Structure 1
Amino acid sequence: MPEIGLGIGRSQYVSGNIQRQVLYWYNQQGKRYQTSEEVEQQTRQQLELVQQQLERYRQQFGDLPEA
């Protein structure tokens, strides 16, 4: 659908021990849009990283001051 800048393509999807072909949306540059599950997983990973960094800060400097 070039008039709206979207394309459809297929790719492998693996969930546990199930592997299948699924359709995904792609932009004009051929980059696949993430699924909501992928966005959620990425957000969770970023949150865990920030929590780890905050814990390292607390271990080194103590708690953050109140605002």
Structure 2
Amino acid sequence: MTGFSALPEIGLGIGRGQYVSGNIQRQVLYWYDQQGKRYQTPEEQLELAQKKLERYRQQFGELPED
């Protein structure tokens, strides 16, 4: 995280970070909580959910239909 600015009146912070997608790399702004932990982007949340689902399927099989 670089260029971090705390916004205590709203309980957030904002800072710059590197975003990489395939061959594309760029600096972007990210939101942070009061402890300085970065909030995940929607894409990161989706990727994490897909990984959790895959681990579930490996352990328990497919999800039931109903």
**What's the TM-score once normalised by structure 1's chain length?**
0.79
Runs of 4 or more, structure 1, over 3 Å off, are: none
Q: What's the % identity of the aligned pairs?
A: 69
Extract unaligned runs of 5+ from structure 1.
56-67
Aligned length: 55
Q: Which amino acid aligns with 2:51?
A: Q
Superposed, 1:39-50 pairs within 5 Å as 39-50=45-56
Could you say which structure has the higher helix fraction? 1
**Is 2:38 aligned against 1:32?**
yes
CA RMSD of aligned residues (A): 0.7
Could you say which structure has the higher strand fraction? 2
**Bigger Rg, structure 1 or 2:** 1
In the alignment, the residues of structure 2 paired with residue 18 and residue 38 of structure 1 have an alpha-carbon distance, to the nearest angstrom, of: 16
